[in-house]
Structure 1
Amino acid sequence: MTVLAHGIGGATDLPIPLSYALVGAAWALTFSFAVLVLAWREPRLDPRSPGIALPSVVGAILDSRAVRVVISGASVAVTLVVVAIGVFGSSDPARNPVPGVVYIYLWVGVMVASLVAGPVWKILSPVRAVHRALCLMRRRPPAQGLMRYPGSWGQWPAVLGLFSFVWMELAYPEPGSVAAVTTWLVAYLVVNTAGLIMCGTVWAERADPLEVYSSLLGRLSPLGRRDTGELVLRSPLNNLAGTPVRVAAVAVAATLLGSTAFDSFSTFPSWRGLLADAGGGGYEFLPTVLKTVGLLGFIVVVGGLFCTAARATGGLPEAERKLLPARLAYSLSPIVAGYLVAHYLTFLVEKGQATVLLFADPFGRGWNLAGLADRDVAYLLSTHPAVLGTIKVLAVVIGHILGVAAAHDRCLRLLPRAHRVTGQLALMLTMVGFTFTGLYLLFES
């Protein structure tokens, strides 16, 4: 199994020509913006909207101490097993499930689950579980650390953690290496456990890359909570509007979007040819440098374009315009979610099955646990390219439309009345550009 063969497909997946999809997506985005301007003239999104209350028994079960203890124990146990397989199992990624567990279930599966059920990594996180156990033994509240988390750090530690992952996936010479993936996983566990001990739970909320990513997408879940803690069903855009403004929020979104775009771009024949020429003679250093520069370039361009567009408004003093990118960064979350589904859907459904089958004999002892070795992967999506292509386009377009709606509502709150429409035009054009570029990279790769 090659875990990095994402199976994102190409233009042949589309039931219509790519040019039609691009023009249609741009028109859909533009039309949606026009409707918003005419029909949505006052702020509407409210993260404290009452929503529809779920039965109290649901919240009682989900929040019960016994359930949380069981989940925490299972999370730590599974993590220890995965690390053990990474250390003592086969070094061949085609026989070892660890790369698939990290790339598919941790990086994609947890995030898709967050879209449905909220920030699930807060509950599943093994580092939070270990930290809670340590705090219980020392009789110290989890929120209390040995030092105060510096406010100037914002989410920069999470950005570094996210970049380390996408660099391993997209720039490291052997991204599927069992040793490399296991090393990243162990480093993640050690660094974030130490961070929680030093700074308390605020570290997990702002610096843990997986929790920051999960929480970002969890804001798009229809599940929310009232101030009383009661579970409710609420419009995802209302939940999204409650996203806190953090330092480096744009960098988080740009890292996720830019890396996904670079992943698609890296399959282009011209780019692969350049890397092959640079790696002549078997040297990996120059291709790694080129991939690192390319990855950083995509991230910087995405972040730079968004910041420039967000600040391109009148009626506000310079100091206020500087704050706009961070205040509008949450509007990129639906776009991140759209590309997550479009880019990784086949990867999750089909390569995810292949990873499960590798658990038949994780240590190379000739086992056949649960009869997994006798099963085959069901290619549910690859055999229906037109359906898959339609899902990808819809995911991207819906993500962009929701992003435009979220940005529009926030602009109604932040911009002077005379500049509420003109102040959004640059951001709108940037969104159209992202849509065009994203779909082109997705389907021409």
Structure 2
Amino acid sequence: MTILAHGIGGASDLPIPLTYALIGAAWALTFSFGILVFAWREPRLNPRSPGFALPPAFRAVVDAPLARVFLAAVSLVGTALVLAIALLGQRDSALSPVPGVLYIFLWVGVPVVSLVLGPVWQVISAPRAIHRALCAVLGRPLDRGVVRYPESWGQWPAAVGLFTFVWLELAYSEPSSLAAVTTWLIGYLAVTTVGLIVCGTAWAENADPLEVYSSLLGRSSALGRRDTGELVLRSPLANLAGTPVRLGGVAVAATLLGSTAFDSFSSFPFWRALLADAGSGSGGSSILPTLIRTLGLLGFIVFVGGIFVLAARATGGLTPLDRKLIPGRLAHSLTPIIAGYIVAHYLTFLVEKGQATVILFADPFDQGWDLAGLADRDVAYLLSTHPALLGTIKVLAVLLGHIVGVALAHDRCLRLLPRAHRLSGQLALMLTMVGFTFTGLYLLFEA
């Protein structure tokens, strides 16, 4: 079995033929929509539902100021350590843990933890910790900055920030280069910290790419809060339905979905051959292949976002303004699809490459150390050695994400569309979801 860059195997990983998986997934999605149409006739999802209160002792520990201070301190120390390793430590990128910290723990680990525990980046973000400390010293509220965050920006700055990351990972000629990774990390920390100081917490909520990503997937958690701030257990569907509608939300979702699809697509032999020919034809220069990868990445993102916008607007009975706004109001339905692809695309990468990154912390400063006896540890290939199980997890993750996305879109359409257009107004979106399912599974297993 071949293990690719993110530990994603091919169609041979599936316990059933890929064609059957594609047909079954499409039928399951279609039947789910049919059931929703006949059994889910009125809006049901209430993001303000009371939920089930967690034990007072648990809530007291989670919300204790001391616990928040401790996590902030750990975050600052960890960030300082990673930067010290990046600037002063192991110079060989293959032996440095810094690229793994960025690509595995921050980009994959934080979102996966957010799926379970909610928007954890708000708590462990180093820029947030610095901002809290400065506000405490200055006696200034966290939400007050030097200037007000422009509402017209929405989440477009976060979409741009996310694109810079996926460009580094998928289009840049040397994505694992220690210099490139360090530059992105320092740039992210500097821009986010300055943004928080200038605009207050509104910057983190709208413009910090990692926080927007974590908060988006954190809506899939069963943990939520009442209007009073009390921590409760609530249906993840209800939490997802409460996702704030913000300008640029579709761009954020399209960047995450499109980049994941492009990552799988970039493993196709004909694409690799095209890049190889471009490199050899330009005298070994990386400029032309990088440009081609950049255009490919942009193409996937624009295609995903454009198809979703067109499908969401393909309904009657709405005013031109409402039709223009409806894609943003339905953007939350893409969140579970993003979550499904994260699990399918990155699960092996997180579990197995994550172990390899931890092992590299044995001697981060190239001093011949063996911290915690890590140097003698071997990676346990827990998933790669069980291809049938891995293939099943990937198919179920993608399928479940799409089914939940259809349910969220259906419930929101019941609120937004006139009664006469509730069914016909969703058909284009339903066909788009089926298309995403087909394409996603095909790219995932045929790459």
* TM-score tier (shorter): over 0.9
Answer yes or no: is the 8 Å Cα contact 1:4–1:176 preserved in 2.
no
Consecutive unaligned residues of structure 2, counting only runs of 5 or more, are none
1:37-76 equivalence runs, <5 A: 37-76=37-76
> Aligned with 1:103: secondary structure?
helix
Could you state the TM-score of these two structures normalised by the residue count of structure 2? 0.98
User: Partners in 1 of 2:4 and 2:110 — Cα distance?
Assistant: 17
Answer yes or no: is the 8 Å Cα contact 1:91–1:179 preserved in 2.
no
From 407, 418, 429, the counterpart of 2:420: 418
Answer yes or no: is the 8 Å Cα contact 1:119–1:219 preserved in 2.
yes
Shift of 1:91: 2.4
Shift of 1:4: 8.5
The amino acid that maps onto 1:387 is: L
User: Partners in 2 of 1:70 and 1:122 — Cα distance?
Assistant: 14
Give 2:221's aligned residue: 221
1:369-384 equivalence runs, <5 A: 369-384=371-386
Give 1:254's aligned residue: 254
The amino acid that maps onto 2:257 is: L
Residue 152 in 1 paired to residue 157 in 2? no
> Aligned with 2:439: secondary structure?
helix
From 402, 408, 411, the counterpart of 1:409: 411
Consecutive unaligned residues of structure 1, counting only runs of 5 or more, are none
Give 2:209's aligned residue: 209
Give 1:328's aligned residue: 330
1:337-376 equivalence runs, <5 A: 337-376=339-378
CA deviation string 1:316-366 (max 9, x = no partner): 111110000000000000000000000000000000000000000001100
Answer yes or no: is the 8 Å Cα contact 1:357–1:372 preserved in 2.
yes
The amino acid that maps onto 2:185 is: L
Answer yes or no: is the 8 Å Cα contact 1:258–1:298 preserved in 2.
yes
Shift of 1:203: 0.4
1:291-306 equivalence runs, <5 A: 291-306=293-308
Give 1:24's aligned residue: 24
1:192-203 equivalence runs, <5 A: 192-203=192-203
> Aligned with 1:224: secondary structure?
strand
> Aligned with 2:146: secondary structure?
coil
Give 2:36's aligned residue: 36
From 258, 281, 284, the counterpart of 1:282: 284
User: Partners in 2 of 1:356 and 1:323 — Cα distance?
Assistant: 45
User: Partners in 2 of 1:7 and 1:65 — Cα distance?
Assistant: 39
CA RMSD of aligned residues (A): 0.9
> Aligned with 2:229: secondary structure?
coil
User: Partners in 1 of 2:112 and 2:363 — Cα distance?
Assistant: 27
Shift of 1:293: 0.1
CA deviation string 1:76-108 (max 9, x = no partner): 000000011011122222210000010000000
User: Partners in 2 of 1:10 and 1:255 — Cα distance?
Assistant: 24
> Aligned with 2:43: secondary structure?
coil
The amino acid that maps onto 1:265 is: F
The amino acid that maps onto 1:76 is: L
Moved more, 221-230 or 189-198: 221-230
Shift of 1:155: 0.3
User: Partners in 1 of 2:182 and 2:35 — Cα distance?
Assistant: 49
- Report % sequence identity: 74
The amino acid that maps onto 2:211 is: E
Give 2:105's aligned residue: 105
Q: Which runs of 4 or more aligned residues in structure 1 lie more than 3 Å from their structure 2 counterparts after TM superposition?
A: none
Give 1:87's aligned residue: 87
The amino acid that maps onto 1:48 is: R
Give 2:176's aligned residue: 176
The amino acid that maps onto 2:220 is: L
User: Partners in 2 of 1:218 and 1:169 — Cα distance?
Assistant: 23
Give 2:264's aligned residue: 264
CA deviation string 1:206-245 (max 9, x = no partner): 1000000000000000001111211111110000010000
The amino acid that maps onto 1:344 is: Y
Give 1:427's aligned residue: 429
> Aligned with 2:232: secondary structure?
strand
The amino acid that maps onto 2:278 is: A
> Aligned with 1:359: secondary structure?
helix
User: Partners in 2 of 1:66 and 1:318 — Cα distance?
Assistant: 51
> Aligned with 1:279: secondary structure?
helix
The amino acid that maps onto 1:122 is: Q
User: Partners in 2 of 1:386 and 1:435 — Cα distance?
Assistant: 20
Give 2:446's aligned residue: 444
Answer yes or no: is the 8 Å Cα contact 1:148–1:199 preserved in 2.
yes
The amino acid that maps onto 1:444 is: E
Shift of 1:56: 1.0
Shift of 1:197: 0.5
User: Partners in 2 of 1:429 and 1:181 — Cα distance?
Assistant: 39
The amino acid that maps onto 2:368 is: G
User: Partners in 1 of 2:218 and 2:273 — Cα distance?
Assistant: 39
Answer yes or no: is the 8 Å Cα contact 1:91–1:177 preserved in 2.
no
Residue 273 in 1 paired to residue 273 in 2? yes
Give 1:122's aligned residue: 122
Aligned length: 443
Give 2:318's aligned residue: 316
> Aligned with 1:434: secondary structure?
helix
Residue 141 in 1 paired to residue 141 in 2? yes
